Amino acid sequence: MKNISVAVAVTALIAFSLGYFARGAVERTVRPSTNAEKSLAREHTESPATQAQTIVGAEQNDAKAPLIASADKAVVVKGDRSSSRIQYMKIRLGDFFLINNIGPEREEQIIQGLIDADHYLALKRKSMIDRQLADRAEPIAQEDIDKASLTSEENAELERERESLYRQITDEHYGAFQEYNRTSRQREAVGAFSSSLQEPMEHAAKESLVQIMYEESSKLESELKSKSTESGAHLTSTPQGWEALEKRSRERRLGMTSYNERVLDRAKTYLTPLQFEQLKRRLDNDLRRFELLIELAAIDEDY
């Protein structure tokens, strides 16, 4: 029972810490759209050297569906372009379009292209997992299906294709798009923080806070990774189970405290006194929630 409790505690603390700066942040991995299961796929050989793959949604004859060409194939894809999905993408990429002075027409092209590319990649990921399961000789339980995952080679293949499609869709803005995505969690956090203020932050201040949080977050993760590597070098004395969790949690709590101090020290230049106090309260509350998780895990371990 204690082993299970420790495993649950580890999972909870890791999940919290990964989302510490932006709970509910947009994941950069592709999620299947709601229409993925309804999509049809067909393949045909154009020539001995090339293959064309056509993936279409319910509206198979959509003349507006863009042609997305990867390294060795042409893909026509129609993703979920519902108004809610488009609005979500507009909000998520709003600052990207603003920073790069991208007009409405080009904005629409990029949004639809990204929706369709994500849809295609989600279907490809699903087909990879289906192929894995089909190749298994023994009976497949529901638990096996739930735990199915891609190999490192398959993930690398998807990542290469994602990069190729995104580069094509964003074109001259690809470098800026990459940089924007790197700070997506911090943008989510700053956006949520700004929307909760009585006096919303100006765009320049928001951008400054995003960069500060991104840089300090990267520094924190680098420091924790370095400590973890040092611990691994002394494997014989490395604590196990609950002791290991407690040690890592203590290191992360100290790191988060230092992170908060550095962010506040750098951010005060760009915030009004009231905004600064609200940011401090928000960061303090996040740290306290993490401490409570540790305390709850410790109580569970005692039982």
255-288 pLDDT, tens digit each? 999 999 999 999 999 999 999 999 999 999 999 9
Q: Is residue 297 part of a domain?
A: yes
CA distance 231 to 242: 16
Beta strands at 51-56 and 74-76: parallel, antiparallel or unpaired: parallel
And the tokens for 175?
Answer: 């470098």
Q: Are residues 20 and 139 in the same domain?
A: no
Q: Which residues contact 59 (CB under 8 A, 6 or more apart)?
A: 78
The percent of residues above 90 in pLDDT, for the chain, comes to 42
Model confidence pTM above 0.85: no
Q: What is the pLDDT of residue 204?
A: 92
Q: What is the pLDDT of residue 213?
A: 96
Residue 93 confidence (pLDDT) above 80: yes
Query: pLDDT digits over 203-243, tens only?
Result: 999 999 999 999 999 999 998 888 776 665 554 455 555 67
Q: Is residue 230 part of a domain?
A: yes
Q: Which of 107-111, 283-287, 292-296 has the lowest mean pLDDT?
A: 292-296
Among candidate residues 135, 152, 181, the one where a domain is terminated: 181
Q: 3-state SS string over 269-301? A: CCCCHHHHHHHHHHHHHHHHHHHHHHHHHHHHH
Q: Is residue 114 part of a domain?
A: yes
CA distance 163 to 30: 12
Q: Is residue 242 part of a domain?
A: yes
Q: Are residues 97 and 10 in the same domain?
A: no
Q: Is residue 177 part of a domain?
A: yes
Q: Are residues 54 and 167 in the same domain?
A: yes
CA dihedral 130, 136, 137, 143 (to 10 degrees): -90
Output the average pLDDT for the chain. 75
Residue 94 confidence (pLDDT) above 50: yes
CA distance 26 to 251: 26
Q: What is the pLDDT of residue 37?
A: 36
The confidence band for 150, taking pLDDT boundaries of 50, 70 and 90, is confident
Cβ atoms 258, 220 nearer than 8 A: yes
CA distance 128 to 112: 24
Q: What is the pLDDT of residue 109?
A: 95
Among candidate residues 123, 157, 181, the one where a domain is terminated: 181
Q: Please state the domain count of the chain.
A: 2
Cβ atoms 177, 170 nearer than 8 A: yes
Among candidate residues 151, 181, 211, the one where a domain is terminated: 181
Q: Are residues 216 and 267 in the same domain?
A: yes
Name the residue with higher pLDDT: 187 or 247: 187
Q: Are residues 192 and 88 in the same domain?
A: no
Q: Are residues 267 and 150 in the same domain?
A: no
The confidence band for 52, taking pLDDT boundaries of 50, 70 and 90, is very low
CA distance 113 to 190: 26
**Could you tell me the residue range of the domain that residue 152 belongs to?**
36-181
Q: Are residues 197 and 163 in the same domain?
A: no
Q: Is residue 157 part of a domain?
A: yes
Q: Is residue 31 part of a domain?
A: no
The confidence band for 60, taking pLDDT boundaries of 50, 70 and 90, is very low
Q: Are residues 192 and 298 in the same domain?
A: yes
Q: Are residues 202 and 146 in the same domain?
A: no
Instruction: From 135, 132, 128, select the one nearest 158 (Cα to Cα).
Output: 128
Q: Is residue 84 part of a domain?
A: yes
**How many other CB atoms sit within 10 Å of the CB of residue 292?**
11
And the tokens for 35?
Answer: 């229409």
Residue 129 confidence (pLDDT) above 70: yes
The confidence band for 149, taking pLDDT boundaries of 50, 70 and 90, is confident
Q: Which residues contact 19 (CB under 8 A, 6 or more apart)?
A: 25, 185
Residue 114 confidence (pLDDT) above 90: yes
Q: What is the pLDDT of residue 232?
A: 56
Q: Are residues 48 and 164 in the same domain?
A: yes
Beta strands at 67-69 and 51-56: parallel, antiparallel or unpaired: unpaired
